[in-house]
Structure 1
Amino acid sequence: MAVVVGFAGTDEGRAALARAEQEASLRGTSLLVVDTGREPTPAAELEAALGSLEVEHQLVPPGPLRDAAEEVITAAEGAELVVIGLRRRSSVGKLILGANATRILLEAPCPVITVKPAAS
């Protein structure tokens, strides 16, 4: 079993990756990194982010349809945990989550942890 993380080259994606690495280390399992950015994450950025990981990991490149939620949910089959990043929202925006986050929370076959980046 692995920990799955939805990663994009954003503050939210980096926060999710850091938390997922902690969870994988605590659980003694590997990390499955799903590239969920709107555009494929540039290779140099991926290498920098993944190169510093201290747990065994595997990258799942973006699928042809770029459906981030579907890719994370599919990768989570048999996983122990999913970690996703959420962006900070306005008061009104807090009433609804993004469509991908909502779908992952509702359809993932295992527990989901959501994280926010540190306030700047």
Structure 2
Amino acid sequence: MAIVVGYVPTAEGHAALDSAIEEAQRRGQRLVVVNSSRGESLVDPRFASDAEWESVDQRLADSGVEHELTQLVESRDAAEQILKLANELNAELIVIGLRRRTPVGKLIMGSQAQTILLQAECPVLAVKDRR
């Protein structure tokens, strides 16, 4: 089993990573960090740069948590990618970061978090940036 965390290089992504590390330490589980793009990786601000990814890897190494970093570039959206990976790994938990959105923003853009919350087959921990 493993814990899967959806990571984006934002305050919400860092909050999700911090909470996922705490959960992995508490549960003694391996942590799988997922960063994904639909293929627009050169212009997609949610896709972590090499420097950002190295920083995440160092943070995990410093924490002592067994971990795996996964960057996916597929035609699926991030929610579908996270759910697929969580199912393949028989994940014990999915951790995601939440950001504030207007009702119109949710209607037009959809909600990756909502998709994960409603379709996950395991518990989901949704966290906000502490600021």
> Under TM normalisation by the shorter chain, which class is it?
0.7 to 0.9
Distance 1:80 1:42, change over 3 A: same
Q: By how many angstroms is 1:52 displaced?
A: 1.3
TM-score, with normalisation over the residues of structure 1? 0.87
Question: Do 2:36 and 2:73's aligned partners in 1 also have CA atoms closer than 8 Å?
Answer: no
Structure with the largest fraction of helix: 2
Residue deviations 1:34-90 (CA, integer Å, cap 9, x gap): 103644210101111221112011112123215100111011110000000001345
In the alignment, structure 2 segments of 5+ residues that lack a partner are 38-43
Q: By how many angstroms is 1:99 displaced?
A: 1.5
Matching residue of 2:54: 47
Question: Do 1:5 and 1:34's aligned partners in 2 also have CA atoms closer than 8 Å?
Answer: yes
Counterpart Cα distance in 2 of 1:34 and 1:62? 7
Matching residue of 1:63: 73
C-alpha root-mean-square deviation of aligned residues, in Å?
2.2
Give the letter for the 2:16 counterpart. A
SS of 1:46's equivalent in the other structure is helix
Counterpart Cα distance in 2 of 1:56 and 1:25? 9
Counterpart Cα distance in 2 of 1:33 and 1:107? 19
Question: Do 1:36 and 1:66's aligned partners in 2 also have CA atoms closer than 8 Å?
Answer: no
The one of 121, 124, 127 aligned to 1:115:
127
1:21-40 paired onto structure 2 within 5 Å: 21-36=21-36, 38-39=44-45, 40=47
Identity %: 46
1:65-80 paired onto structure 2 within 5 Å: 65-77=75-87, 78-80=90-92
Structure 1 outlier segments of 4+, above 6 Å: none
* Number of equivalent positions: 118
Matching residue of 1:3: 3
In the alignment, structure 1 segments of 5+ residues that lack a partner are none
TM-score, with normalisation over the residues of structure 2? 0.80
